[in-house]
């Protein structure tokens, strides 16, 4: 998100001009600084995916970026870096299941799910629904909510960019909606660099 001073610069017409090419290279350079990847195309893919989160509503579908790798491969660090770059990042570990639906419906954030297999089963069921339905524009689900003394059925739009990491893999239906990335164990000093 922009700082107040950056917003004021923009409103005054004094914001620095940057080309899409420069933006791509600046973001990719940050990922390359901290991430130990053997295939440089991963950096290109993650950079383009990150930029695309700002205009995902222009597409009919936005695949789930899926880091499926063993321990100590940098999955969590890669996701932490992406959270700082992607549009309106929302991490699944914090909000309750009911607020996830509201936040996704209202904000269309980039939704991050780290350590998917380690989540409690109730939350995992809600996230399964979000993953299966929300990869495509128009993907909605209904939920019943209590308002005063009445129950009202609400329709939630779950379409937004999503980034998932785990070790075990995903079911076939969810996997068919994914862009899988396989990271190998970190072997250079980049593994020790902390971007936080």
* Average pLDDT, integer, range 75-87: 94
pTM of the model: 0.87
Residue 67 has pLDDT above 90, yes or no: yes
| Contact in structure between 100 and 131 (CB atoms under 8 Å) | no
Select the more confidently predicted residue: 168 or 194: 168
DSSP label at 17?
Answer: P
Cα 58 to the center of its chain, rounded Å? 17
Select the more confidently predicted residue: 188 or 161: 161
Q: CA 86 to CA 96: how far, in whole Å?
A: 22
Residue 46 has pLDDT above 70, yes or no: yes
């Amino acid at each position: 998100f922009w700082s107040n001073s950056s917003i004021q610069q923009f409103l005054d017409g004094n914001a620095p001009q940057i080309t899409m090419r420069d933006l791509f290279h600046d973001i990719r350079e940050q990922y390359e600084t901290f991430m130990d990847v053997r295939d440089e195309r991963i950096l290109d893919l993650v950079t383009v995916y990150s930029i695309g989160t700002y205009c995902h509503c222009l597409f009919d579908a936005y695949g789930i970026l899926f880091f499926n790798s063993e321990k100590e491969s940098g999955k969590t660090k890669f996701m932490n870096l992406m959270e700082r770059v992607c549009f309106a990042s929302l991490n699944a570990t914090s909000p309750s299941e009911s607020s996830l639906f509201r936040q996704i419906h209202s904000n269309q954030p980039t939704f991050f799910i780290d350590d998917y297999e380690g989540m409690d089963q109730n939350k995992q069921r809600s996230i399964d629904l979000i993953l299966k339905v929300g990869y495509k524009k128009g993907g909605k689900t209904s939920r019943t909510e209590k308002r005063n003394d009445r129950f009202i059925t609400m329709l939630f739009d779950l379409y937004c960019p999503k980034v998932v990491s785990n070790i075990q893999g995903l079911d076939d239906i969810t996997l068919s909606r994914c862009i899988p990335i396989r990271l190998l164990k970190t072997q250079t000093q980049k593994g020790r660099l902390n971007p936080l």
